A and B are shown apart, each in its own frame.
Chain A
Amino acid sequence: MIGANMLLAAEDLAEEAAEGSQDLGFMIKGVFSFELNGVTLWITTSHICIAIVFLFLVIFSFFARAAIKKGSEVPSGFQNIVELIVEKLDGLVGGTMGWSARIFRNYIGTIFIFILFSNISGLFGLRPPTADYGVTFPLGVVSFSLITICKFRYQKVSGVIKGLCEPWPFWLPINLIGDFAVPVSLSLRLFANVLSGTVMMALVYGLLHAIAYAWPGVLHAYFDMFSGAIQTYVFCMLTMTYISDACGDEPAKLPKKSVA
């Protein structure tokens, strides 16, 4: 009799645990679907969160533009913040990329701000868009394209082939694999870091919800703020290093217009 009761209780517990793991809530959820050419497409939480981040950044940039347009010689208020952001990003890019900084300043600044706000959006109850491999992989592919374009543009085809045959010609396949591993490792690093933070927070809130008061704030500070900022820095830093490696030494005639 007691044994049967215990078995029932155990079954109840197992059911509860199973339900708990079902709504832990870190998976990407479909919000609504529509048909296009006979294919069912889903609008997921990633799309919505990325739209919110995007909207916030667009509104912010409008205010920043207004602040700079009617800015004074001695900055005050909001103009201070905008100038600080631009100065810091310029310093970061200029200090790492050397002569190619003037070409890539805009691009690196843009992805820096976008990734930073995506990572931090976990603080505001959104599912960070960067915790979706469909968001980070395109970022990696864009970086890879820029690296390849710069290689062919500034080292010419002969330089690229020479670079692939370093240190010996039979090293070529390994160098090729190394080149194509760049976008995958760049995007997987960002994705796995943000995802691990998201999963950790979901576990805390899902499994310890009875005692999860106030103290998860410490974890938020680590996983969302610290880890997110570090990963943003790392992604941009590695992209900059690879691109400035691909650009090589300063050419005699500098390009007139920026490409990115």
Chain B
Amino acid sequence: MEVCTPILSQAAGTDPSIEPLHTRYTGPGYPQGLDLFLQTSPEFAMKRLLAAGSGPIYQIAQVFRDGEYGSRHNPEFTLLEWYRPGLGHHGLMKEVADLVYACLGEEPGVEKISYVALFERTFGWNPLQAQIPQLEDAAKMHGIETCNLEYRDQWLDLLMSLVIEPTLGAQGLTFVYDYPASQASLARLSSEDERVASRFELYYRGVELANGFHELTDAAEQRKRFEIENRQRQQHGLAQLPVDENLLEALESGLPDCAGVALGLDRLLMLQQGEVALDDVLTFSLKNA
């Protein structure tokens, strides 16, 4: 079923690496004004619908992120997001591949590789165990000069984005799955190995196209993650954000076991058209919006 949820929300995602844009409503109902956030994805509202018994749902949504602008980023972009009750992340990967095939009008091959296996293949060590000096050496060996990275996950992001990502999906679609638990985001931890989370990403021709989860349904665990992320935001000198109590209430009432994914439609269009920059496919990007 296609759904439509509000772009404005009184709460926001707390992920320290995703910064929401905000605005303010003043008028009847809120004479003193009400702070509102533009959605960075429709995830929380859609989960509330799932908890209310919607069944499988999808929507195409405009989403907004502050601080992101470049050849593959625009602060306003379009996500196709959908949820499948009863499906795990591997089942959903198959569905994502089918949809992308249909859009590209061809059937490139599919490669599936775990995050751990991907790092072992590229660098010869396990990313769940590697310590910062080892990550730093790997970056240097690949000609990346950088400094001032304090956290392991920042180093892993650096290696993933600059060394691994450009090589992914050269022959077809590449799904990377089972991310470190420290990068679980809104995914549940794997039932087989709690050091990894049931999260996946899709890459095609070196471009990140989609991010999916076998969704976390545990309300207490979700609240804990929001609190940890808000503490991280404070450490990074970022504003703490209001936690979505409506979402937590929905999780408490019971979110069905489900998998969900968000796919960047502008990037998919860019690849389908054989272009290399979002600017080539957006009607008006930030500079002339």
Partners in one complex: no
Interface residues, chain A, with chain B CB atoms under 8 Å away: none
Interface residues, chain B, with chain A CB atoms under 8 Å away: none
